[in-house]
């Protein structure tokens, strides 16, 4: 038979979702694994949002909508962006689709031509690199480490720009590192972006989950930058709604219009029912968001203090999101629970096998020295997982 698409065949599956599937499989087999894999909150969707979804079903919101979403949701998003981050958008600047992951892909689809270069600071969320390749474009990876708190400098950005560079992707706060760019740092990067006529995709999906420093949206600091910025966000993390699949882009009208057209021939609209539930999320009382943030803050504090009290591993306290990016490089060249550890993959595999703890190895995020833990899980699970890590580091297997 003829070969399948070369682009599709070259795509690596999502490592975060793979870890999730593996831990679910192990649990189904009766293995007592503690999972810190995919970043998905353990909270339930707040009641007022669920009720709006039920009401949407009962009032027959069962028809197609405009490909880029219903007007009340676009309006609720504009009001939310203004109230929360001082951003000025109108409905025509908003494109709603089936999750921020899909929105990101569609934004890249309408922005990129084959061969265009996209600058991607590492460590990065797993999907960006593959989504860039799925568009036939070329990821240009900028390496960072703890010494700059995993952030790129304007000089580093400038040095990576070629005649083919089209776009920079920023995640603020970052998945997997949790680091937050300050307003000053964004201003410095903004100058390079504008001077070199680049676009910016600013993934702000963790904007409300900040514990240190103040979140500032890149589009709010400079109208010139806003003209070339597509903000990506959604309900998944902010309102514990991962399964509802609603994300949005806010940006310049020419880009949003093309995204709408592209969607009209691909997914069409996102679920009508989920869109109505999302209106309740954005337009409703935001106390639920602050309550979840506070709970994450407690977990973060506990996690960081325990990890940094262990002598073979360490982590920077994350400013935001709900991940711990743990440096395991001090264990390289040693043996733990009978397994030779040469890299972060070995560490994560051995920890799963002997410690019954599932984490995501850093290679998928562009780092060979780290593993990622999601602390979007109960404090009991966190305690159990860290007790097992401690034992594992002392060569005492749990399994
Ligand atoms: N961006 C980042 C940085 C993420 O971590 C995620 C995680 N799912 C997404 C986008 C996509 O979110 P969703 O598709 O659930 O809206
Ligand atoms: N974004 C989350 C994560 O990084 C969810 C899984 C995914 O969509 O990749 O784990």
Give the per-residue pLDDT at 194. Answer: 98
Average pLDDT, the chain: 96
Q: What share of the chain is helix, strand, coil (3-state, %, to 5)?
A: 45, 15, 40
Q: Is the pLDDT of residue 125 over 90?
A: yes
Q: Which of 40, 243, 365, 376 to mutate to test the pocket of ligand 2 (most atoms within 8 A of CB)?
A: 40
Which domains does the chain show, CATH number per domain? Answer: 6-44+288-393 (3.90.1150.10), 49-285 (3.40.640.10)
What's the pLDDT at 22? 82
Q: What's residue 144's pLDDT?
A: 97
**pLDDT for res 13:** 81
Burial 75-111 (b: 16+ CB within 10 A, else e): bbbbebbeebbebebebebbbbbbbbbbbbbbbbbbb
Per-residue pLDDT reduced to its tens digit, 6-59: 989 999 888 788 788 888 888 899 999 999 988 999 999 999 999 999 999 999
Pocket test for ligand 1, best of 17, 175, 232, 375 (most atoms within 8 A of CB): 175
* Alpha carbon of residue 84 to chain centroid: 19
pLDDT value of position 178: 98
Work out the pLDDT band at 280, boundaries 50, 70, 90: very high
Q: Band of the pLDDT at 244, cuts 50, 70, 90?
A: very high
pLDDT at 12: 85
- Give the residue whose CA is nearest to atom 9 of ligand 2: 16
Between residues 113 and 37, which one has the greater pLDDT?
113
Q: Reduced to 3 states, what is the DSSP secondary structure of residue 33?
A: coil
pLDDT at 181: 98
Q: How far is the CA of 310 from the centre of ligand 1 (A)?
A: 31
Does residue 355 come out as left (phi exceeding 0), alpha (psi in the -120 to 50 range) or beta?
A: alpha
pLDDT tens-digit map of 249-278: 999 999 999 999 999 999 999 999 999 999
Report how far ligand 2's centroid is from the alpha carbon of 239 (Å). 15
| CA–CA gap between residue 387 and residue 13 (Å, rounded) | 31
For the chain, what's the residue count?
399
Among the bound ligands, the one closest to the CA of 128: 1
- Mean pLDDT over 336-364 rounds to 94
Distance 361 CA to ligand 2 centre (A): 13
Coil, strand or helix at 37: coil
Q: Is there an atom of ligand 1 within 6 Å of 124 CB? A: no
CA of 11 to the centre of ligand 2 (A): 16
Q: Which candidate, 164, 182, 167, places its Cα nearest to that of 229?
A: 167
For the stretch 313-347, pLDDT in tens is 999 999 999 999 999 999 999 999 999 999 999 99
Counting atoms of ligand 2 from 1, which one is nearest the CA of 101?
8
Q: Which residue is listed with tokens 């009766």?
A: 30
DSSP element (H, E) containing 340: strand 339-341
Three-point CA angle 119, 231, 316, nearest 5°? 65
Does 378 score more than 90 pLDDT? yes
Tell me: the pLDDT tens digits for 159-198? Answer: 999 999 999 999 999 999 999 999 999 999 999 999 999 9
Q: Is the dihedral of CA 69, 171, 191, 222 positive or negative?
A: positive
Q: Which of 97, 123, 205 to mutate to test the pocket of ligand 1 (most atoms within 8 A of CB)?
A: 205
- Is the C-beta atom of 247 inside 6 A of ligand 1? yes
Radius of gyration of the chain, Cα coordinates, nearest whole angstrom: 21
Give the pLDDT score at 38.
84
Residue 117, Cα to own-chain centre: how many angstroms? 21
> Stretch 80-94: mean pLDDT, rounded?
97
* CB atoms inside a 10 Å sphere around CB 198: 18
Q: Closest Cα to atom 3, ligand 2: which residue?
A: 39
**Burial bucket for residue 353 (CB in 10 Å: 0-12, 13-18, 19+):** middle
What is the rounded (10 degree) CA torsion for 71, 76, 82, 85?
-120
Residues with CB under 6 Å of ligand 2 are 14, 16-17, 38-40, 101, 125-127, 175
């Amino acid at each position: 038979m003829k070969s399948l698409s070369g682009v599709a065949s070259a795509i690596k599956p999502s490592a975060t979702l793979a870890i999730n599937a593996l831990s679910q499989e192990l649990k189904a087999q009766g293995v007592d694994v503690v999972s810190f894999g995919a970043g998905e909150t353990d909270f339930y969707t707040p009641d007022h949002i669920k009720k709006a979804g039920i009401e949407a079903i009962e009032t027959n919101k069962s028809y197609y909508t405009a490909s880029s979403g219903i007007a009340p949701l676009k309006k609720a998003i504009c009001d939310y962006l203004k109230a929360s981050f001082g951003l000025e958008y109108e409905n025509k600047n908003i494109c709603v689709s089936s999750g921020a992951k899909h929105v990101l892909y569609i934004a890249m689809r309408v922005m990129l031509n084959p061969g265009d270069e996209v600058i991607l600071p590492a460590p990065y969320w797993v999907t960006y690199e593959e989504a860039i390749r799925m568009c036939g474009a070329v990821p240009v990876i900028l390496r960072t480490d703890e010494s700059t708190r995993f952030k790129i400098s304007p000089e580093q950005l400038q040095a990576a720009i070629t005649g083919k560079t089209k776009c920079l992707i920023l995640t603020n706060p970052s998945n997997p590192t949790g680091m937050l760019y300050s307003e000053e740092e964004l201003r410095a990067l903004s100058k390079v972006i504008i001077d070199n006529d680049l676009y910016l995709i600013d993934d702000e999906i963790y904007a409300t989950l900040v514990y240190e420093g103040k979140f500032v949206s890149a589009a709010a600091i400079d109208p010139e930058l806003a003209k070339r910025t597509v903000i990506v966000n959604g309900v998944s993390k902010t309102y514990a709604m991962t399964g509802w699949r609603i994300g949005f882009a806010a940006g310049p009208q020419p880009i949003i219009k093309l995204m709408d057209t592209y969607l009209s021939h691909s997914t069409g609209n996102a679920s009508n029912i989920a869109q109505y539930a999302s209106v309740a999320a954005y337009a409703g009382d935001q106390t639920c968001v602050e309550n979840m943030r506070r709970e994450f803050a407690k977990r973060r504090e506990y996690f960081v203090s325990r990890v940094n009290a262990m002598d073979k591993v360490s982590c920077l306290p994350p400013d935001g999101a709900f991940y711990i990016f743990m440096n395991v490089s001090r264990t390289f060249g040693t043996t733990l629970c009978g397994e030779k550890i040469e890299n972060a993959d070995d560490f994560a595999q051995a920890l799963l096998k002997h410690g019954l703890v599932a984490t995501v190895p850093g290679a998928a995020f562009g780092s060979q020295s780290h593993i990622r833990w999601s602390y979007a899980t109960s404090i009991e699970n966190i305690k159990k997982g860290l007790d097992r890590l401690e034992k594992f580091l002392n060569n005492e297997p749990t399994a």
